[in-house]
Structure 1
């Protein structure tokens, strides 16, 4: 296999156009739209697009959120309750509709809609759309998971994270044309900090309450490349920190905020997260949103989706003024304290048990960060980044021990956050390079956020097999019963609305073996 090859032949412009084309109505003929708002978005009231997610063998979550003016604080939707029709069909022309209904939405829900479309067939494509205020939405395409135990020859996923508004979301143009079954978004879907794209800042200030987060989400969701990707492939989403506040830890904000006050901000962010994504989890109603969950694709792979943020202890050796992410000496006793946890002990137990009992050929842990140790001081002294797994080494070691001792079937980890592509061996003892490799890790670069080089630290980290920081893109993982192959589609630039694309080196792991190798 070529280490560098042409990534896609379908143009991104064509993919975006197809994903957002209006399909002739199978609904009753729509009436004239009552939307007379000056400056209304072209696809109002569906200016934030449509999406699907959390696929099961017999159902899929369908999503939309009504918006007329995404740049306005209230989205430009007059206060009220609105009926939204939906339908899902076996064909792109909606000739064979297999499900339909009507749901109500209101300001209390941020005008969002979540539909659990049930009674579907496993491992097949469907098309869906909505109608509200006399307007038919763009159509979306989705796909269900294979049935439990069903012989599944191939599953192709993609994964990505970190889409700061300072760059264009160009990689999504190519995801929309890619042939994948599902996309895992691993966090930093929005940034709470101000984003400026080609000199034009976001209209919304940094959010701290529900109205603020709703506004920020609407500005991101209006991006045409993001909408095209959502309309083409089902998403499975978890969060990292920027959906709330940079480098927060549980109820502890970066600036040492009062935990009770920060909890209110965090729960407001959770509510907005739910309202803007196709999540199967129940509406949190202003409280904690439970995101860790599993998806099983036939007899081939079980995905374990983690929440690395909500249940973690505060950062190691943090002073009274807070501090967030930073490199500290490895001598800090908190780093290896077994009473501290990144996941919370209930989530840890859930993960360990799910790995032990998985009936599939592969286990993929979908989480937000670089899992492997990353020594970030050159020389004899050792340094640890407290906001990542290095800051919660005991939690990491407990999971490594499960991989090593419980005969977990072919474990892989996928991650994001660090704005670089990485491939790494997961070791039983990172301080002993000769120790056993028990899993392989693939980390995708950012969609648009800037990357930084870690090249100077690579000699201190021999378990790191590959590192590339210059390009934005995502990861792509193909799984069969014989092997897993990961490559990294990237674009040359996100400084403008278009760019060429190509794929970096491919890496393989054979089933029944440990460790990745370049192919």
Structure 2
């Protein structure tokens, strides 16, 4: 960081005490002597606004967070209007949106090797308060972002609010949900995945969803991505959406990828097309780099080829211990000859293979990390934030045949049983899970599977709120299939096929969740409403109507 020339140390200490910046930040103020590359552009010029993709923050800690931007003045062009050389971007953090007093600042390298993206790990700030940040280059100033530091791990916290959202298919509809999320007074946003869709509909004018045709709201600007440049172009198109930018500007994100950031239904080294694993890993490496370049992630998540560490946790004082999972990178391949359900879901009967102890959803190392974290947790609540449904729900295929989705935890029953048994033993009554991927809202109880047909359900272990999509599935079919799903699954309390998000409001003894829905995404201006509200009482797992 650069030294502030207009304040001496004593004045700076007084200002920091008044405005709330931590004393630890002072140690980080010596003059910066960065070893910049020799080919750096010393005096950059841009034909268009370089911050066209906005700004973002994420992975907050008690003393700071990551701030992100990517220089991209012409998102639709091949090289995005950027010279193929590195340049320096300056950044600032303040306690007020006016930036009357800049409390932290510095410079960061925007390198072409990382798509001219910038990831700054700001530290030395005071805990549990709102901060504002921005970037500068060549006389241009970025939009102002709003972020928040975590409370100290042992601090008493009375309330935590956050939103759960994902599955934002650009061609299926407008990102209206993000506009509404940006207006919610939340502490953070969990994006469960499918930030982009790799699919390409070859110029079709309509979408066929659940047997119904919908007009295409928008179109992707390139074919299915395979190379790094392909994925960069897809992200650049998504990132220009003003509603998505507004949400990133409003609050810090915890992000994780699902399948469409790489390829539909991929699992570990396998894709859906039977590509040789050693070849698919090249595509995964390109997709992972593009994902990192466009997300507010710490250096610890920088990909190493086709590997990328995404599971991590955060403590919100003594109230919530949050665990963000990665249920794609380490899982076994899907099993079964799956029948296509309306809407594109996969359905298959439960077979002995689904219970095979060799099959894993999280991998051994991540499972141990999660189990140890839950066992050691002293928070009043534990949050497991992941990608795909944990509830073991039966579905119906064409003709009414029953089956289970093998891309969810139902296809990995040994892992599911181990997780639920550990929750029941280590932290009974204070775990809530949130997930997505299914393009419908689901809220229900998570029970242990006994494996015997006709046996009584085991006790409720935890609860799940699965957020519907931001836009995937177009306007949706409302409550079509809802009565059948509720009748087939007693543990399920609500479901609807509309776009939207989940809003969680966590108190010390009650966890409340609202299923928010948008009436339309096929055109702008969709109206927001609450489809259903639920509560989970600490010590009494299970979903109750609020």
| Correspondence 1:483 to 2:505 | no
| CA 1:328–1:255: 2 relative to 1, 3 Å | same
Identify the match of residue 385 of structure 1 among 381, 388, 405: 405
Contact 2:503 2:514 in 1 (8 A): yes
Cα displacement string for residues 99-140 of structure 1 (whole angstroms, at most 9, x for unaligned residues): 100011121011100001101111100000001232111111
C-alpha displacement of 1:97: 1.4
Is 2:45 the partner of 1:34?
yes
Aligned to 1:102: 107
* Secondary structure of 1:48 counterpart: coil
Hey, what does 2:189 align to over in structure 1? 183
Alignment of 1:302-317 (within 5 A): 302-317=321-336
Query: 2-side partners of 1:355 and 1:282: how far apart?
Result: 22
Q: Which residue of 1 aligns with 2:369?
A: 350
CA distance in 1, matches of 2:434, 2:62: 23
413, 423, 430: which one pairs with 1:410?
Answer: 430
Aligned-residue CA RMSD (Å): 2.1
User: Shift in Å at residue 353 of structure 1?
Assistant: 1.2
**Equivalent of residue 496 in structure 1, options 518, 523, 538:** 523
- Measured after TM superposition, the shift of residue 153 of structure 1 is 0.4
1:150 aligns with 2:155: yes
* Aligned CA distance change for structure 1 residues 387 and 62 (closer, same or farther; 3 Å): same
Deviation by residue 1:67-104 (Cα, 9 ceiling, x = unmatched): 01112232221211111000000101101212100011
**Aligned residue number for residue 436 of structure 1:** 459
In the TM superposition, residue 200 of structure 1 has moved relative to its aligned partner by: 4.6
Q: How far off is 1:156 after superposition?
A: 0.4
TM-score by length of 2: 0.84
Cα pair 2:486 2:493 within 8 Å, conserved: no
Q: Does residue 209 of structure 1 match 2:227?
A: yes
Match of 2:17 in 1: none
Structure of higher RCO (CA pairs closer than 8 Å, 6+ residues apart): 1
C-alpha displacement at 1:429, in angstroms? 2.5
1:115–1:458 Cα change, 3 Å: same
The structure with the largest alpha-carbon Rg is 2
Q: TM-score, normalised by structure 1?
A: 0.88
User: Contact 2:93/2:104 (CA < 8 Å) preserved in 1?
Assistant: yes
Q: Is the Cα contact below 8 Å between 1:412 and 1:441 reproduced in 2?
A: yes
The unaligned stretches of length 5 or more in structure 2 are 1-41, 204-214, 339-343
1:478 aligned counterpart, secondary structure: strand
| Contact 1:361/1:409, CA 8 A, preserved across alignment | no
| Superposition pairs of residues 112-261 of structure 1, within 5 angstroms | 112-166=117-171, 167-194=173-200, 200-261=218-279
Other structure's SS at 2:532 match: coil
Tell me, yes or no, if the aligned pair for 1:335 and 1:393 is still in contact at 8 Å: yes
2:347 corresponds to: 327
The number of aligned residues is 477
How many angstroms does 1:183 deviate by?
A: 0.1
Cα offset, 1:406, TM superposition: 2.5
Distance 1:106 1:270, change over 3 A: same
**Which of 33, 53, 61 lines up with 2:58 in the alignment?**
53
CA contact (8 A) 1:355 1:408 kept: no
1:512 match? 539
Structure 1, unmatched stretches of 5+, are 1-30
CA deviation vs aligned residue, 1:221-251 (integer Å, no higher than 9, x gap): 1111101110011010001100000011111
8 Å CA contact 2:429, 2:540 repeated in 1 = no
Match of 2:93 in 1: 88
The Cα shift of 1:478 comes to 0.8
Tell me the alpha carbon deviations over residues 290-344 of structure 1, each in whole angstroms, 9 at most, x when there is no partner: 000001100000111000100011112469xxxx9732221x2210001110111
CA deviation map 1:201-236 (0-9, x unaligned) = 221211111111111111101111101110011010
1:458 matches 2:486: yes
Residue 75 (structure 1) aligns with: 80
How far off its partner does 1:33 sit? 8.1
Q: Is the CA contact 2:374–2:427 (under 8 Å) kept in the aligned structure 1?
A: no
Counterpart CA distance in 2 for 1:395 and 1:65 is 38
Deviation sequence 1:439-471 (CA, Å, 0-9, x none): 1111111001115654333322111111111x2
Indicate the residue corresponding to 2:390 in structure 1: 371
Is the 1:291–1:306 contact (alpha carbons within 8 Å) kept by the matching residues of 2? yes
Kept in 1, the 8 Å contact 2:429–2:541? The answer is no
Shift of 1:397: 0.7
Q: Distance in 1 between matches of 2:518 and 2:485?
A: 25
Tell me the CA shift for residue 485 of structure 1. 0.2
Q: Where does residue 415 of structure 2 map in the other structure?
A: 395
